[in-house]
Amino acid sequence: MFFKKSRKRVIENNKFNVKDTVSFRYKNDLKIGIILNIFQDDNDIISYEINVGGECPYVVIVEEKSIVKKLS
């Protein structure tokens, strides 16, 4: 079998920047996190890699339409 990994490009000058604190929707819940990386795939869909803090932090990847607003 052949698996092709989708290529992602890191982009600059976007609506949200790296190290911005944002609120976003993830699995029908509203979360708050810090943006680590910004990617754009071959179909020009912008995705954000967001670190969600707390006692047990984790990283999620969401599309731009899932982000509600910038907090600071």
Supply the pTM of this predicted model. 0.78
For the chain (length 72 residues), average pLDDT per consecutive 10?
58 80 94 92 89 92 93 82
Q: Does 2 fall in a domain?
A: no
Q: Does 4 fall in a domain?
A: no
Q: Does 46 fall in a domain?
A: yes
What's the domain range around 41? 9-70
The predicted structure's pLDDT at residue 72: 72
SS3 66: helix
Q: Does 35 fall in a domain?
A: yes
Q: What is the largest CA-CA distance in the chain?
A: 46
> Which domain CATH number covers 25?
2.30.30
Q: How many domains does the structure of the chain reveal?
A: 1
Q: Does 1 fall in a domain?
A: no
Q: Where are the alpha helices (DSSP H) in 1-72?
A: none
Q: Residue 16 corresponds to which tokens in the numbers above?
A: 């949200």
The contacts of residue 54 (CB under 8 Å, 6+ apart) are none
The predicted structure's pLDDT at residue 8: 56
Q: Does 57 fall in a domain?
A: yes
- Contact between 46 and 40 under an 8 Å Cβ cutoff? The reply is yes
